[in-house]
A and B are shown apart, each in its own frame.
Chain A
């Protein structure tokens, strides 16, 4: 793999009633292009991930940036949309098709007024009342049933997320919470309470990715895209184990293999903690700990500062927020900052290897619709 992230930018996630998709994403896109050192007319491709922005979001963003006449591709892949856009950009560069690409992730969930993410009503399970919190609530119930864990372990994941997010000026929620506050917050889908669910909000993030050849001319710190994997769910009409998410495991295995590093070498991981239980389930799926070890791994403090790996230094989806298409790119911005020592108060010291992981989509017969995992190295 020969692609490098040379710059990244994002707005603080939150609610922006006066901003449209272009309003949200133009700032980060412009900042990423400026910080890359490239003139706007040297950007050769644009890939834009979003789920709810309607037609031509990428074009609406870059039209005012002096980026003209080049291919702009809009990518929808649920929670993996932004990371899928990066995957496409990296492939375009690695194949020699281009030397530079701007990757944008953006979504505006405040347009729905709150509540759960609107899913596709054509889906037979959605017709039965499926919503994303319900799916993760059932995962949580199975997890607690099969493991020596209780709801306080789930709540402690939210506490850690908010501890991390409190140090992140880009996080939607920067207030620390206690286990009691998490457990007594409003019930959403039993056993999950409000503070165990990522908030709805608006956000945008952007990175510029370049080839090795172009990187050598730019003279600035970069993060090497060492592995990039994208998997989609396989249909099964029978039993599925909800606490062993197949495509997250497959994507992590492939991205680590491509990078030539082990999961135990990772210093920073931004993973898809859309709900508290997800973080525990994904520790195992990504290989950060062995099967069945997630609760002990977490209780030991192995997923925070001073432990084996810092998971979600940004605060994760739970604290930073989760504007669907933006999240995959915002994770990359976060690890780019850590790998280039720009993460400020939340900097993971001497971070050398990082992973980003997004997965999602609630459709019948698949454990998840899509999953994208990237592995990054310093320099």
Chain B
């Protein structure tokens, strides 16, 4: 019988595996401190290099244990909107998708939305409470 659907390296048959709940509601999980200040936290797989945000304990591609890493703080604003009716937060507020320079897309608040444009360069600022704001970059900053 063909066994192509089976993978190597699992526990021996009958061997008990202990699993625990992942603390995915813990607020502290989303921020990491670096020499350059607070950054959004992500995770990187040491095996296949796949990135994830918010961080995941195991790689979603190959299931290897991941490493917690700071995400890039610069990126490109893919799209954004000012929300005027919401069940999630007090209005108005502006949110947008930022494609970070390390390849991860994150949803963040957008500062100074009147200066933002589609595909503009942004820097993502992370506050101590974990909130993030993408601020449009101008002039030389935007070219970096």
Contact = CB atoms under 8 A, between A and B. Distances in A.
A118 B99 contact: no
B95 A129 contact: yes
B79 interface: yes
Interface residues on A, range: 35 or more
Interface in A127-168: 127-131, 133-134, 137-139, 141-142, 145
Interface in B56-75: 60
Given A134-B83, A142-B78, A238 B103 contact: yes
The A interface, classified by DSSP as helix, strand, loop or mixed, is: loop
Nearest to A146: B118
B89 interface: yes
B105 A141 contact: no
Interface stretch (A57-65, A82-90, A184-192): A184-192
B24 A128 contact: no
A307 B132 CA distance: 48
User: Chain B CB within 10 Å — which of A127, A134, A191, A238 has the most?
Assistant: A134
Nearest to B85: A188
Contact of B88 (A130, A141, A191): A130
Nearest to A113: B87
B81 A137 contact: yes
B99 A239 contact: yes
User: Chain B CB within 10 Å — which of A128, A130, A192, A235 has the most?
Assistant: A128
A220 interface: no
A270 to B, nearest CB: 26
A125 interface: yes
B88 A126 contact: yes
Contact of B104 (A112, A119, A192, A238): A238
A124 B108 CA distance: 10
B53 A128 contact: no
Interface in B33-62: 50-54, 60
Contacts of B60: 235, 237
B104 A237 contact: yes
Contact of A145 (B51, B107, B118): B118
A18 interface: no
A138 B113 CA distance: 13
A128 B118 CA distance: 20
Given A128-B107, A134-B95, A239-B105, 18 more contacts: A115-B85, A115-B86, A116-B85, A121-B88, A128-B132, A129-B83, A130-B95, A131-B85, A131-B87, A134-B83, A138-B78, A138-B97, A142-B78, A190-B84, A235-B60, A238-B103, A238-B104, A239-B78
Interface of B: 24-25, 30, 50-54, 60, 78-89, 93, 95-97, 99, 103-105, 107-109, 118-119, 132
Interface of A: 112, 115-119, 121-122, 124-131, 133-134, 137-139, 141-142, 145, 186-192, 235, 237-240, 242, 364
